Structure 1
Amino acid sequence: MAGAGGTWSPEDEAGRGPTIAAGGMVTSSSPVASQLGARVLADGGTAVDAALAMTAMAWLSLPGQCGIGGDAFAVVREPDGRVWTVNGSGYGPDGATAEGYLDEGLTALPMGGARAVSTPGAMAALHTLHARGGTRSLAELWAPVVTAARAGLPCTVKNRADIAEHAGSLAADEGLARWLLPSGRVPEVGDRLPAFELADSIEALAIDPLALYSGSLAEQAVALLRAGGAPFSGDEWALGADAPAEPSITARYGDLVLHQTPPPSPGWMVLQQAGLLDGQLLDLPTLGADAVHLMALAARRAFRDRYESCAADTDTWRTLLTADALAAARAGLEHQPLVAGGVGMAGDTTSCVAVDAEGRAVSAISSLAFTFGARIAIPGTGIALNNRLGRGAYLVPGHPNALAPRRKPLHTLNAWVLTDGSGRLRHVGNTPGGDGQVQWNTQVISHLVDGGLDPQAAVAAPRFTVHPGSDADALGAPETLQCETRLGADTLAGLADRGHDVRPCGAWGAGGSALVVSVDESRGVLAGGADPRQDGVALGV
């Protein structure tokens, strides 16, 4: 094995072949979610229908990672080649500013509680996704989720670990405690976790997803947050219902077109890394020291540029993707210092991918930000609220990402599709993982395009992570390169020789849960992969 010495090669993944299917395919980080998505496709639903169903099932199977009170992004490739996206993220309170919070004595936004919350965008995004591409009612698609919520899904190893880690915070919220700490204790693996209040909420929101943003449910949410010290007016909460479909942002990579989600998603950072690396890795051994060094430098450059100049409500990122800017940055990659004004990387998110028999493809990703978000729920609903504002906004007056009314915080979620020059689908994928996402997506895309790896080998390949990224919780943290030991001793030593502060993180410890479905046109099949770092499963129909 390469981890014991030498350098990793694709042959190290022998025996971990991709899932193959001739019709449609789904992949997610949860077996029960993948099973539901495959059933939707088998019953004649589209990839959009399958993604809507899988996203909702993940609210139960991965409750620490996503939920109604979080955010969601998606990219959709239509059978005719059109690609569009949807962004579901929201604002902080109208009454909050960086200067005002600093005057109160805060030095950073809290990571939990009311002041960490931004208006959730997930329901608005799913509403748009359904309106644009759904063929089945949400009530039909989410009925199995409601049934599962009332019966209670069995607690998994991951669920138990998440609940145990945050048991104190969960116990402080009556609604979350009723669901996740039955009988007042951390559940054992296999214990069922009924979510009766959440089941009622899902059933109601299936009829009107935008009811979260107006009426009694919105009033409850805003009252909870105001009582917790977050100066929401209610107007910014109502604006969360607006999640229009938008064109994807694109760049070339090799002979393919890479489609990404636009800001506040950091999809442009994947495009920037693609522009910096295009053609640079073809003649290098996959995941050898030279290739990893270049990819790490490209990631550092993206995080540096993001921190210095980019915000969710500006177009500064566009100037970074021009041919001249990429050429100048590429020429300086080897010489730039290994320093950046970045911050932490930890986070929790989940995602899914679906491709149907017509060639429609969806990459969807959703999150509460950190595990269980702000760890507070709208009373009586089971709806946990996110901590995206605490994670994404800076208390740095004058900074492009400083906390301000009607400014969305910077985000970590992004999703991608690769098509050929004629618009034909080649690959679709994503990964959760905080600020690791833009790095790991770039790595997986390179494995597919430069290395010619199949989807399963691409998502299972050794991973490395520039740390910190650009979250708001650890400004100025020491800069390291976290590497899985499967990269091999030669690669790790070579990276240290090139100036990286290499921190081994175990054979599979980098994090993430990458998912890919690829089109094998020569054989007329789909090939899918699910990251072995979590419980992911790819299923074909």
Structure 2
Amino acid sequence: MRDFHAPGRSCVHATTAMAATSHPLASATALEMLQAGGNAVDAAVAASAVLAVVEPQMTGIGGDCFAIVARPDGSIHGINGSGPAPKAATPARLAELGVTSIDPQGPHSVTVPGAIRAWHDLLSAHGRRGFAEVLKRAIAYAKDGYPVAPRVAHDWAQAVPKLAADPGARESYLFGGTAPKPGDIVRQPALARTLQKIASEGPSGFYEGEVARDIVDTLAARGGLMSLDDLAGMSTLPMPPVIRSYRGIDVAELPPNGQGFIALVMLGLLKRFDLASLDPLGTTRFHLELEAGRLAYSVRDLFLADPDHMQHGPDAFLSSSYLDRLAARISPTARIPEIPPALLGPSSDTIYLTVVDGDGMAVSFINSVYKSFGSGICAPKSGVMLQNRGACFRLEPGHPNCIDGGKRPLHTIIPAMAMKDGRPYLSFGVMGGGYQPCGHAHVLSNIVDFGMDPQEAIDTPRMFFDETTHVLQAERHVPQDTVDGLRKLGHQVDIVQEAIGGGQAILIDRSRSVLIGGSDPRKDGCAIGY
């Protein structure tokens, strides 16, 4: 139970509908859409569009999107809105160009933006409103201005050198060569025009015509290989989620090319231990969680890729026999000495939001440009900041995640949905790049094993590991006794300067007909309902 003497926030309770996002303006937009007769999908897309304006370091229309929609009848639908590499970006062509690594700020890191197509397809399949209505608030904020929130300003200031290196980014996102401060009003007229074009023309206003030409020309000037055909050919993939049980709760994650099934691998390992008997902030709990993470992430980096290029599907890694073999490597009293190292960077910039409407539809929704301000390459006429998701590709020939034309990269962003008795129970997600599977397991375990409410489950201190060295990373509020205990088990532990990730969650309490929401204090956002 919350200590009302200590700083913090309460859960939000409501009876009709609720939204939880990483920015107050986005949460307000979602609530406005719900109260105007839109459903959860309309509200989610409207909120995401606002975040693409007011939280530009985390997300944008130049990025990708994934979502899970749980309808009131218990049916569950997934959509993969990640874009592929340009068709010309073959290993042979990149070798001809002398590319030996994919520069996260270079043109070859830019994959086709999938978000706008995903938004459109979600609205068409599940929504009640079209782009003209759901983009209104985003257009207004881009055109008329919005006040910069504190966490956004903090991240923006750190990205000044990156933004200054690109003419389009410098023009659109720096003001007198500096980042805005909290409360400064920012306007994005070029982005406003592009959003208005999408509102009027639909996806073709982005993937064809002058906006598409601006993107292609911008990349071509830097040696990029993206074509107008690449953009015009962007399509989403319908993806039935992979579902596994965790202590009576059915957890749904999207299959590859996302890393969602790695969260299920972690949960499959953790349910073999009696976590509920442990201190949720104690040494043993974190040790077991992070050892499970180290094993699961080694699976990810060896096998995860575009599903057309994987030797094995998720089921192979979620079988009882395979999980038993992995779990046998975990000792409660000592660190596993050697695990194949992960090769992704430990952080990325992403938004996650969730909405539940009055009919009981729940949406788990995530949108990202990958690293802070993506590639840092901004198409100047359209104001589109381009993602650098292609930096997740490998260059080793024969590796399932080796870059190739038209291939989708390994993706870190993952929405999640938990079902109980065949109906939506918990719509949740945790931001933070590679941390996300670990974050899903951590937050869900906080609720299921330790009885925390959604806000408590999000608030509690987090730990992760450096994905290359496997050195443990602890937030400052992890108890010192826990840190000392982990070191005695053989772990190297560092205290991190930046908070780990973010997150939102809405729990549907059917016994009381109440929605219970939480939003991460590591960001600027809030949950709100009515």
TM-score bracket relative to the smaller structure: over 0.9
CA contact (8 A) 2:257 2:410 kept: yes
Match of 1:399 in 2: 399
CA contact (8 A) 2:194 2:206 kept: no
CA drift at 1:164: 2.6
Which piece of structure 1 moves more, 311-320 or 114-123? 311-320
Match of 1:519 in 2: 508
Matched, 1:271 2:256: no
Structural mapping, 1:169-248, within 5 Å: 169-207=162-200, 208-240=202-234, 242-248=235-241
Structural mapping, 1:127-206, within 5 Å: 127-206=120-199
CA contact (8 A) 1:18 1:456 kept: yes
Deviations 1:379-424 (A, max 9, x none): 311111101102x10122221111112221111100111111x312
Residue 293 of structure 1 aligns with an amino acid whose one-letter code is: H
Cα distance in 2 between the residues matched to 1:252 and 1:14: 35
Match of 2:50 in 1: 57
Match of 1:257 in 2: 250
Q: 2:118 aligns with which of 110, 117, 125?
A: 125
Which piece of structure 1 moves more, 11-20 or 182-191? 11-20
CA contact (8 A) 1:394 1:401 kept: yes
Residue 534 of structure 1 aligns with an amino acid whose one-letter code is: K
Structural mapping, 1:244-393, within 5 Å: 244-280=237-273, 281-313=275-307, 314=310, 315-334=312-331, 336-343=336-343, 344-390=345-391, 392-393=392-393
Deviations 1:482-514 (A, max 9, x none): 0123221221122112221111226xx432111
CA contact (8 A) 2:241 2:253 kept: yes
CA contact (8 A) 1:270 1:438 kept: yes
CA contact (8 A) 1:102 1:395 kept: no
Matched, 1:495 2:486: yes
Structural mapping, 1:524-539, within 5 Å: 524-539=513-528
Match of 1:472 in 2: none
Which piece of structure 1 moves more, 12-21 or 69-78? 12-21
Match of 1:460 in 2: 459
Match of 2:67 in 1: 74
SS in 2 for 1:332: coil
Residue 325 of structure 1 aligns with an amino acid whose one-letter code is: Y
CA drift at 1:170: 2.2
Q: Relative to 1, partners in 2 of residues 1:504 and 1:15: Cα closer, same or farther, differing over 3 Å?
A: closer
Unaligned stretches of 5+ in structure 2? none
CA drift at 1:104: 4.7
Residue 257 of structure 1 aligns with an amino acid whose one-letter code is: D
- The total of aligned residue pairs comes to 520
Cα distance in 1 between the residues matched to 2:156 and 2:485: 39
Deviations 1:152-202 (A, max 9, x none): 111233333333323233234444333322344433332211111111111
CA drift at 1:10: 7.8
SS in 1 for 2:515: strand
CA contact (8 A) 2:475 2:500 kept: no
Cα distance in 2 between the residues matched to 1:190 and 1:282: 43
Relative to the length of structure 1, the TM-score reads 0.91
CA drift at 1:103: 5.9
CA drift at 1:376: 1.4
SS in 2 for 1:534: coil
Cα distance in 2 between the residues matched to 1:97 and 1:263: 21
SS in 2 for 1:539: strand
CA drift at 1:227: 2.5
Which piece of structure 1 moves more, 363-372 or 270-279? 270-279
Which piece of structure 1 moves more, 520-529 or 179-188? 179-188
Residue 456 of structure 1 aligns with an amino acid whose one-letter code is: Q
Match of 2:433 in 1: 434
Match of 2:86 in 1: 93
Residue 272 of structure 1 aligns with an amino acid whose one-letter code is: V
Cα distance in 1 between the residues matched to 2:123 and 2:514: 27
CA contact (8 A) 1:154 1:191 kept: yes
Cα distance in 2 between the residues matched to 1:201 and 1:14: 41
SS in 1 for 2:328: helix
Cα distance in 2 between the residues matched to 1:19 and 1:211: 38
Q: Relative to 1, partners in 2 of residues 1:100 and 1:244: Cα closer, same or farther, differing over 3 Å?
A: closer
Cα distance in 1 between the residues matched to 2:20 and 2:86: 36
Cα distance in 1 between the residues matched to 2:503 and 2:227: 38
Residue 328 of structure 1 aligns with an amino acid whose one-letter code is: R
CA drift at 1:113: 2.9
Match of 1:27 in 2: 20
CA drift at 1:94: 2.1
Cα distance in 1 between the residues matched to 2:93 and 2:143: 44
CA drift at 1:233: 4.3
CA contact (8 A) 2:306 2:409 kept: yes
Cα distance in 2 between the residues matched to 1:199 and 1:490: 51
Matched, 1:40 2:39: no
Q: Relative to 1, partners in 2 of residues 1:163 and 1:284: Cα closer, same or farther, differing over 3 Å?
A: closer
Residue 512 of structure 2 aligns with an amino acid whose one-letter code is: R
Cα distance in 1 between the residues matched to 2:2 and 2:291: 23
Which piece of structure 1 moves more, 209-218 or 323-332? 209-218
CA drift at 1:100: 4.8
Q: Relative to 1, partners in 2 of residues 1:233 and 1:540: Cα closer, same or farther, differing over 3 Å?
A: closer
Residue 499 of structure 1 aligns with an amino acid whose one-letter code is: G
CA drift at 1:462: 0.8
Residue 418 of structure 1 aligns with an amino acid whose one-letter code is: A
% identical aligned pairs: 34
Cα distance in 2 between the residues matched to 1:494 and 1:167: 39
Q: Relative to 1, partners in 2 of residues 1:270 and 1:42: Cα closer, same or farther, differing over 3 Å?
A: same
Unaligned stretches of 5+ in structure 1? 1-8, 469-476
Deviations 1:235-268 (A, max 9, x none): 433332x113321111111101001122111111
Matched, 1:418 2:418: yes
CA drift at 1:287: 2.9
Residue 491 of structure 1 aligns with an amino acid whose one-letter code is: T
CA contact (8 A) 1:123 1:210 kept: no
Residue 413 of structure 1 aligns with an amino acid whose one-letter code is: I
